[in-house]
Amino acid sequence: MFMFPTRALLGLFALLAAAACASSRSLDDSFSDIAGNADLKGVLFTDRSHDYGDVDITLFEGRLMLTGTMRTEAGRAKLIENAWKADGVEQVIDEIIVGGRTSFGQGLTDTRIDQTLKAKLIADGEVTSTRYKIAVSGGTVYMIGAARTEEELDRALSLAGSTGGARKVVSHVVARAPGDTQ
């Protein structure tokens, strides 16, 4: 009897549960985000009318942030239309730029900024890094999440702004009210 798929699946669920607990997010929110993300990627994969290859999809507690570039306004509009089709999406945040593809060099720079900022958030004792998701496009840092306090949010935004190569920081992070444990 071959048991690997079941063990792998259980391991994945355990990892997701641990990640949800570590981020102070409910397990339902984490699974809903994962399902919504997969659902939208499936929709975009089957829609061959536009090239979605330079688009980042970031879903946090039902809030979907779209970043990157689309070649045409019609493609951008279709992307947003498709975004609303995904399960669990309660809000679509459109940060798409209509223009040319991101160059290879800029893509490397964006990846470096992303990884550097994630490391800074993890290392900082005043920020709960798992409460933030990041996307970087064209040197602009886009953040979405839920800060515990306004002070934590200010600290996270300061870390983003001081990351080498970051040209601009755009925040879609909400600060939770005291006592709100979500």
Query: 122-136: per-residue pLDDT in tens?
Result: 999 999 999 999 999
CATH number (3.30.1340.30, 3.40.50.720, 2.40.50.140, 3.50.50.60) of 104-175 reads 3.30.1340.30
168-179: average pLDDT? 84
Amino acid letter, 168: K
Residue 35 binned pLDDT confidence (cut-offs 50, 70, 90)? confident
Retrieve residue 37's tokens.
Answer: 């993300």
DSSP letters, 119-151, are HHHHH-TT--GGGEEEEEETTEEEEEEEESSHH
* φ, ψ of residue 54 in degrees (nearest 5): -110, 30
In this model, does residue 23 exceed pLDDT 90?
no
CA 37, 42, 45, 47 torsion: positive or negative? negative
Greater confidence (4 vs 135) lies with 135
Please check whether residue 69 is in contact with residue 55, taking contact to mean a CB–CB distance below 8 angstroms: yes
In terms of pLDDT, which residue wins out, 26 or 110?
110
Q: How confident is the model at residue 46 (pLDDT cuts 50, 70, 90)?
A: confident
Residue 148 binned pLDDT confidence (cut-offs 50, 70, 90):
very high
What pLDDT score was predicted for residue 74? Answer: 96
Nearest to 80 by CA among 63, 99, 69, 96: 96
What is the per-residue pLDDT for 31?
Answer: 60
What are the residues whose beta carbons fall under 8 Å from the beta carbon of 143, sequence distance 6 or more? Answer: 132, 133, 134, 156, 157, 160, 169, 170, 171, 172, 173
- The 3-class SS string of 68-87 reads EEECCHHHHHHHHHHHCCCC
Residue 86: closest CA among 28, 50, 38 = 38
More confident residue, 19 or 64: 64
Fold for 26-98, please state it.
Histidine-containing Protein; Chain: A; (3.30.1340)
CA–CA gap between residue 41 and residue 44 (Å, rounded): 5
Instruction: Give all strands (DSSP E) within the chain, no chain letters.
Output: 55-60, 63-70, 91-98, 132-137, 140-147, 168-175
Mean pLDDT score, 71-90: 92
So what's the pLDDT on residue 13?
A: 43
Task: At 95, list the tokens.
Answer: 């940060």
Residue limits of CATH 3.30.1340.30 in the chain: 26-98, 104-175
Q: Which amino acid is at 34?
A: I
pLDDT at 151: 95
Q: What is the pLDDT of residue 28?
A: 52
